[in-house]
Amino acid sequence: MGRPEKLVQQCRALGIAYSKKSRGSLPAKELKHRLAEARATARGPKASVADLVRKCKAKGIVFSNDGGVLPKDYLHVALTMPPQVASVRRTLHAAEIRSRTQRIVGVVRARGGRARAFDPALDSAQDVLSEQGRLEAWRTVAAVKQGGIVVLEPECAEWLQWTSAKHHKRKFGESGPGRARITGAGNTARKAVRISNRSACEMAPLAQFALNRGCLLVEEQSGLSLRHKFRPVQHIIQANGLRSDLVKGCRYGWPSGKPLRLNHNLPHFDKFLAKPCTHHGKHRSRLMSKTPSGSLTGTRAMRASAWYPLPFAKAVVSAAWGPTGLPC
């Protein structure tokens, strides 16, 4: 049968031995057995919350938020961080995860820095929900230097308030005085909701990894999104003292009054990203408009709003490092 390359790659991604010294890779049957055993132990559906918490304690991984245990998906992901990332050389000044336009990458390169984009829209293999894509995402973040920028742009369509609360059945629970959080998994009969939940749980440990390595973090979401109240995401914000600020997109190149929420630790945010809206509701275009001709509406509006204008990308980089130069 020859060397089972795909199984070998999967074993590498999970840090499983796949060969015996110089004898080449193990038989496919043995590789499949080892993969199944590793998945069942680390992140299989049969693993109880108590087992996952015990393993998190043993590895020093945070497993609770305000006394409540974080979701199983988050614990699975945190426990199975690819082991290969520790040896990655730190050569990048910035990384954009799910970049779409690569605008921030372009601004950093224009300053003479090194930056890398990661987005399944550019390369189908770069999907954080696949084993190969997940490993590549961790390696990309691991390559960012201390003081560099990591920009996370997860899909937020399933978290928007006007759809999530009614159709997706996301629920709110209390997390201390005056702080609400999403505790429900939503309508998991919908495939899009299941994917959105997994994506949020994958991105949260990735954000924590970036912060642990001394990087500046920007996690962008729609201003009307509920993602920042989802327990894994809320834990990252609270545990690291991140700011969660609203930004008026109309001041940074969007023709509409697009509201943005940035969960971040940018040192110069107030100077470059806190401009108030002065349009008094009179924007060139509206995101969700029923009538005016020439205005983007519905799906077209949401798709257009996801693309970063150049002024916004420049403002984000300046909020991290100042108007010129690189961090290191």
CATH of the domain at 194: 3.40.50
Q: Among 101-110, 193-202, 209-218, whose mean pLDDT is lowest? A: 193-202
**Alpha helical stretches, state H, 274-326:** 298-305, 310-321
What's the domain count of the chain?
1
The answer to whether 57 and 63 have CB atoms below 8 angstroms apart is yes
Which comes out higher in pLDDT, residue 47 or 250? 250
Domain presence at residue 5: no
Helix pair 191-212, 231-239: axis angle to 10 deg: 20
Q: Which two tokens stand for residue 225?
A: 């999104």
pLDDT band at 270 (very low <50, low <70, confident <90, very high): very high
Measured CA to CA in angstroms, residue 156 lies from 8, 30, 191, 215 at distances of 34, 40, 14, 23
Residue 217's Cβ-count burial label (10 Å; 0-12, 13-18, 19+) is buried
Domain presence at residue 162: yes
Which comes out higher in pLDDT, residue 15 or 43? 15
Amino acid letter, 158: E
Could you tell me the pTM of the whole model? 0.72
The pLDDT of 219-239, averaged and rounded, is 80
Domain presence at residue 298: no
pLDDT band at 204 (very low <50, low <70, confident <90, very high): confident
CB contact set of 295 (below 8 Å; sequence gap of 6+): 285, 286, 289, 301
The answer to whether 157 and 224 have CB atoms below 8 angstroms apart is no
Nearest to 285 by CA among 293, 270, 296: 296
Instruction: Say if residue 226's pLDDT is above 80.
Output: no
Nearest to 321 by CA among 168, 149, 90: 149
Domain presence at residue 24: no
Residues of the chain with pLDDT > 70, as a percent, come to 63
Phi, psi of 166 (to 5 degrees): -90, -50
Amino acid letter, 249: G
pLDDT tens per residue across span 110-137? 999 999 998 877 777 777 777 788 888 8
pLDDT band at 316 (very low <50, low <70, confident <90, very high): very high
Q: Which two tokens stand for residue 96?
A: 């954009």
DSSP assignment of 155-214: --GGGBHHHHHHHS---EEE-STT-EEE-S---TTSHHHHHHHHHHHHHHHHHHHHHHTT
247-286: burial string, b at 16+ Cβ within 10 Å, e else = bbbbbbbbbbbbbbbbbbbbeebeebbeeeeeeeeebebb
Domain presence at residue 164: yes
- Alpha-carbon span 190 to 79, nearest angstrom: 27
Instruction: Say if residue 292's pLDDT is above 70.
Output: no
Domain presence at residue 241: yes
Domain presence at residue 19: no
Which structural domain, as residue segments, surrounds residue 98? Answer: 43-279+309-321
Residue 122, sorted as left (phi over 0), alpha (psi -120 to 50) or beta, turns out to be alpha
| Numbers of helices and strands, H then E, in the chain | 12, 10
pLDDT at 326: 86
Domain presence at residue 260: yes
Q: Which two tokens stand for residue 104?
A: 């921030």
The pLDDT of 178-188, averaged and rounded, is 53
- Alpha-carbon span 135 to 126, nearest angstrom: 9
Instruction: Say if residue 217's pLDDT is above 80.
Output: yes
Q: Which two tokens stand for residue 230?
A: 């989802």
The answer to whether 236 and 208 have CB atoms below 8 angstroms apart is yes
pLDDT band at 275 (very low <50, low <70, confident <90, very high): confident
Nearest to 7 by CA among 40, 31, 24: 31
The pLDDT of 214-231, averaged and rounded, is 83
The pLDDT of 164-171, averaged and rounded, is 53
- Alpha-carbon span 199 to 233, nearest angstrom: 11
